[in-house]
Amino acid sequence: DIQMTQSPSSLSASVGDRVTITCRASQSIRNYLNWYQQNPGKAPKLLINAASSLQSGVPSRFSGSGSGTDFTLTISSLQPEDFVTYYCQQSYSNPYTFGQGTKLEI
């Protein structure tokens, strides 16, 4: 199975900050990497698929990059609604594992 390791697990930041979350796969997953945002008590929301493809309606302050084993999610200027939890997921091979999550805190 492919293991997905996210870092950090939690991150303290302020409104307006630029932050980067890292996701590392235990083997190459090419660009089969997705990023989700989850508000407490709600279903996850797909932000980015295929490592860097921003989904419709997602603000342009979110961006993704990487290929192979190392990936990043960057939020260029944090807004109050961004202080929630983020997950990466590989969709390269079954089982389609998620990272453990990164909680953004003010």
Partner 1 sequence: EVQLLESGGALVQPGGSLRLSCAASGFSFSSHAMNWVRQAPGKGLEWVSMIIGNGGNTYYTDSVKGRFTISRDNSKNTLYLQMNSLRAEDTAVYYCAKDLLSSNSGYNYWGQGTLVTVSS
23 contacts 68 by C-beta, under 8 angstroms: no
Distance of CA 26 to the CA centre of its chain: 16
Q: Which of 55, 74, 77, 79 binds partner 1 (CB under 8 A)?
A: 55
Q: Is the peptide bond before 8 cis (omega within 30 degrees of 0)?
A: yes
- Could you say which residues in the range 84-103 bind partner 1, by CB under 8 A? 87, 89, 91-92, 94-101
* CA gyration radius, the chain: 13
Q: Which of 19, 21, 25, 32 binds partner 1 (CB under 8 A)?
A: 32
Question: What residues line the site for partner 1 (CB under 8 A)?
Answer: 1, 32, 34, 36, 38, 43-46, 48-50, 55, 87, 89, 91-92, 94-101
